[in-house]
């Protein structure tokens, strides 16, 4: 009886938090006026943009739930370089090596989902919806599909005209320690707490052996010995073999943080969050309070989606997300 009541209470609180987050973000509509973005940007020009994105994303994830992690990562890798401008989608040409071909981007997934959304929207309202907005919306809907927080985001980003492989040097490396992560995210305007919240996206998805095998070459005191054996077995199949970040890799929850407390972080960038005194208490808080993690995550994602957005003549709306007009 008690367990049933507790479960009901937790569900009620979760539903309340979701509604609160939605109201809170919607109420902030006018905050983004200075950036040329707003929640209702497509209200007149393409009013069905969000249902189209959500429908295609949901269908794709029903067929392959692992794409949720791919779509969220696509948004991060887009925003962290040239800003949220769809530059990560651009294909290389004989005269230009694009971001997409960087070693850190070769494992990105979800491009075909973005293409499908763009094709549908071009058939309904040609030349209106940017690829940058599609990436941001698809990422948000992937979070929701996987069981994470529902939130609204401002729209109106324009697509960038630059995509160069050398710019990806600014992506955080999987071997970074907490200080390096704080510095890298700080250059983009994020606090240590926001960085730890965004790292929680690793509640979804997998890592390739090539990104964590450095931790297996010698005894790593931050790595649980039994989990080290698990990672070694994974790597026995080669550098492209994959290891889930946590035990529920298709569910958006706080299991990732609980894994860090057990020394089960896959990447150096994961485990360093709990070994560093700068971030340890944040990890403990999120491990104990999923609602707090959800709240901080959605706020950090909205903020990330505002990095160096292109407006007016500084950008364009691509006809094809892979090619500059």
Report the binding-site residues for heme b: 202
Catalytic residue chosen out of the listed positions 73, 75, 77, 310:
77
Structure tokens at 293: 């993690």
Q: How far apart are CA 77 and CA 132, in angstroms?
A: 12
Annotated binding site: 78, 83, 85, 87, 99, 172, 202-203, 246, 253
- Nearest CA to 243 out of 266, 225, 264, 263 is that of 266
- Nearest CA to 136 out of 112, 123, 155 is that of 155
Cα–Cα distance list, 32 to 99, 119, 153, 285, 295 (Å): 28, 28, 10, 30, 19
Annotated binding site for substrate: 172
Q: Is 323 helix (H, G, I), strand (E, B) or coil?
A: strand
Q: How far apart are CA 109 and CA 113, in angstroms?
A: 9
Q: How far apart are CA 205 and CA 247, in angstroms?
A: 10
Strand partners, 155: 38
Phi, psi of 316 (to 5 degrees): -150, 175
- Residue 23 has, within 13 A of its CA and on its CB side, a CA count of 6
- C-alpha angle 166-178-170 in degrees, rounded to nearest 5: 10
75 catalytic per annotation: no
Q: Are 118 and 112 within 8 A, CB to CB?
A: no
Structure tokens at 256: 């990732």
Annotated binding site for Ca(2+): 78, 83, 85, 87, 99, 203, 246, 253
Q: Which long-range contacts (CB under 8 A, 24 or more apart) does 181-185 make?
A: 181/269, 181/272, 181/273, 182/278, 182/279
Residues with a catalytic annotation lie at 77
């Amino acid at each position: 009886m008690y367990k049933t009541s507790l479960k009901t209470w937790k569900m009620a609180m979760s539903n309340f938090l979701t509604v609160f987050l939605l109201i809170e973000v919607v109420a902030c509509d006018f905050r983004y006026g200075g950036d040329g973005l707003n929640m209702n940007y497509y209200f007149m020009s393409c009013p069905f943009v969000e249902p189209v994105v959500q429908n295609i994303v949901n269908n794709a994830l029903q067929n392959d739930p692992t794409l949720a992690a791919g779509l969220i990562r696509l948004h991060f890798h887009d925003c962290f370089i040239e800003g949220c401008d769809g530059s990560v989608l651009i294909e290389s040409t004989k005269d230009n090596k694009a971001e997409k071909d960087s070693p850190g981007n070769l494992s990105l997934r979800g491009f075909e989902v973005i293409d499908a959304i763009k094709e549908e929207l071009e058939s309904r309202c040609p030349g209106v919806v940017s690829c940058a907005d599609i990436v941001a919306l698809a990422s948000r809907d992937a979070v929701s599909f996987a069981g994470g927080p529902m939130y609204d985001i401002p729209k109106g980003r324009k697509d960038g005209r630059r995509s160069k492989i050398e710019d990806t040097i600014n992506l955080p490396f999987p071997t970074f320690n907490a200080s390096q992560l704080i510095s890298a995210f700080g250059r983009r305007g994020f606090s240590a707490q926001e960085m730890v919240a965004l790292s929680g996206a690793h509640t979804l998805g997998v890592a390739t052996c090539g990104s964590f095998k450095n931790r297996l070459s010698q005894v790593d005191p931050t790595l649980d010995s039994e989990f080290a054996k698990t990672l070694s077995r994974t790597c026995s199949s080669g550098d492209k073999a994959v290891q889930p970040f946590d035990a529920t890799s298709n569910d958006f929850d706080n299991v990732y943080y609980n894994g860090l407390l057990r020394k089960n972080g896959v990447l150096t960038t994961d485990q360093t969050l709990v070994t560093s005194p700068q971030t340890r208490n944040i990890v403990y808080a999120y491990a104990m309070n999923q609602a707090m993690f959800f709240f901080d995550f959605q706020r950090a994602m909205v903020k990330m989606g505002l990095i160096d957005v292109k407006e007016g003549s500084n950008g364009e709306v691509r006809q094809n997300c892979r090619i500059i007009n």
